[in-house]
Amino acid sequence: MATGPAPPGVEDPISAIFDLSDRVAGMAPTARRMYWANLLISIFWILLMLVLLAVGLATSGLLAFVSVLGLALGVVAVLLLRETDRFFRGFVARHRTIRLVRDAEPIVKIPEGRTPIERLAHYFATSSTKVGEALRENPDRLRYQVSWDVRGRPVKFDLAIARPAGFRWGLTGGGEPGFLLLARLGPENVGLQDLQQLEVDLQGISSRFPSQLVRLVLLRPKGTALAQEVYEYAVGHPAILHKGLRTYRVNTEIITENPDGTYEFVPLVVGVP
């Protein structure tokens, strides 16, 4: 049965939800300015209450009591601001991911290359603006067959693309993290032990990375459907890595070259780096 156009004044509810989400995400710069303004005011209030508390302890018990109440309110305000900011930043990050998935090509064709790893490197260089810029600045940032020694055992990866982090990230994990992409050629039938071994290898070498690992790939030139336990592990079990005072997570992304010349991603990672 044919359907006519939507009645006047009625719009696609999914598009309306995206439009509303776009408008909220567009308020991010204003929300950040409001957050910092209110945070500075709250900090000034806390400092003022501390001064009044010191004066009250020396002169007046009532003033000291009121100062303690004011100090408690200031601390609560700062905590609420922090939670509000964390929520809004999470919303903006989720919106960005949804937008990237919505706008991404539904089918990703495998680029030209002599080997699966070379084709994957070409895909990274052309699909990510940051990776492309980093390689144009210095082509040596792309390396094949890299290795780290862990207690006399070599830990090897077939591909590494890195933009160096800032000096402070190397010491404390703060500041500019740069980015690092690692890929390893895996078997056709990936098992749970392959993913677990990859995680163990990362734990032993993550402290030596020149920048923050943002993408970890196990590449299959071809392969059958993944076992359910492998799929669930890849999607829901990120590796937890440490750098200085910071802790971050990264999922193992299983990429398969399909016979029809397209890539299959489990899980799908967009906008990284």
Which CA distances in Å does 81 have to 36, 76, 92, 116, 255? 9, 9, 16, 48, 40
8 CA to centre of own chain: 42
- Total domains in the chain come to 2
Q: Is the pLDDT of residue 16 over 90?
A: no
User: 161 and 247 share a domain?
Assistant: yes
The mean per-residue pLDDT over the stretch 194-208 comes to 87
63 with 55: CB under 8 angstroms?
Answer: yes
**CA gap 81, 75 in Å, rounded:** 10
Residue where the block lists tokens 């940032």: 141
What tokens appear for 236 in the block? 């829901």
Residue 249 belongs to some domain of the structure:
yes
User: 56 and 165 share a domain?
Assistant: no
What pLDDT does 94 receive? 72
User: 253 and 124 share a domain?
Assistant: yes
Whether pTM exceeds 0.75: no
CA R_g for the chain:
25
Residue 201 belongs to some domain of the structure:
yes
Q: For 29-43, 44-58, 241-255, which range has the lowest pLDDT when averaged over its residues? A: 241-255
Give me the domain span that covers residue 129. 116-266
What pLDDT does 1 receive? 45
More confident residue, 41 or 208: 41
pLDDT (tens digit, 9 = 90+) per residue, 86-114? 887 777 777 666 666 666 666 789 999 99
User: 181 and 204 share a domain?
Assistant: yes
Q: How many CB atoms lie within 10 A of CB 201?
A: 19
